[in-house]
A = this chain, B = another copy of it.
Amino acid sequence: MNHSTTEVGSETSEPLRYLSKVEADAIESELLKEYKFGLQQLIEIWGHACAIAITKAYPLSSMGRKQPTVLVVCGPDQNGCIGLVCARHLRMFEYEPTIYYPKRSSNGLHQDFTVQCEKMDIPFLSYLPTEVQLINDAYHLVIDAILGLEADPANVKEPYAGILVTLKQVKIPIASVDVPSGWDVDEASTEGINPEVLISLTAPKKCATSFTGKHFLAGRFLPYDIQKKYDLNLPEYPGTDCLIEL
């Protein structure tokens, strides 16, 4: 076989690229405009991969006899929408997600993903307890699908600033989607939240360079030509898995 995968897969000795915000935006834009991927399609792919990552990092069996509860905190933009899809798939995997989605998007596509969760009977919290112990007691983990690529970490507005203050204090693990909320995409944060798990979408961002937690990469769908153009040097995904632990 003489696949182009071998050119970008594990046989290369080049290290995995960590993307700047500018590069990550450029790749997403190219996927949409040149490769004609749709946002509905990408959000479904990414949210599904996030749910699979959670099942690997926190298998149902690890939750003992307690309810496998997960708090999914969703931001106002695309990252939050990926969180909604993640919650829906976690429900199909027999977890018990609860969604906190304080500012619902006016984007019709995001609204459709919201209805899908509501129709799956996934509960939505109307507010986040400020008493951290209540969160620690009620959930096994928090999924941070709050700010993502789009946000400006120097200018986090309410209610997200307050949510981040709360999440910095929780004792249960946090799994962040793509970029830990409050972090700058281009550099690691020492002051922000401290996720135990990071699920990088498409390719990891610069802020993840020194991340020491469990790090998953979910971007198998990425066309080979984009992988080559941006020198991503992605690892070879095992079997038919949609993600890989780095």
Contacts and interface: CB of A to CB of B under 8 A. Distances in A.
A240 B57 CA distance: 13
Interface in A133-158: none
Contacts of A209: none
A115 to B, nearest CB: 4
A167 B92 CA distance: 37
Given A92-B220, A120-B223, 6 more contacts: A1-B68, A3-B96, A36-B115, A55-B240, A116-B223, A120-B225
A15 B35 CA distance: 43
Contacts of A71: none
A223 B121 CA distance: 9
Interface in A227-246: 237, 239-240
Copies in the complex: 2
Contacts of A38: 40, 109, 112
Contact of A35 (B34, B111, B116): B116
A139 to B, nearest CB: 15
Contacts of A51: 240
A67 interface: yes
B116 A36 contact: yes
A35 B113 CA distance: 9
A218 to B, nearest CB: 13
12 contacts: A1-B67, A4-B121, A35-B119, A36-B115, A36-B116, A36-B119, A38-B112, A52-B240, A92-B220, A92-B221, A119-B225, A121-B225
A64 to B, nearest CB: 11
A41 interface: yes
Contacts of A112: 36-38
A67 B1 CA distance: 6
Interface string A3-44: 111000000000000000000000000000011111011001
A5 B240 CA distance: 26
A209 to B, nearest CB: 26
A219 to B, nearest CB: 11
A2 to B, nearest CB: 9
Contacts of A1: 67-68, 94
A94 B96 CA distance: 35
A232 to B, nearest CB: 14
Given A36-B112, A116-B37, A240-B52, A94 B5 contact: yes
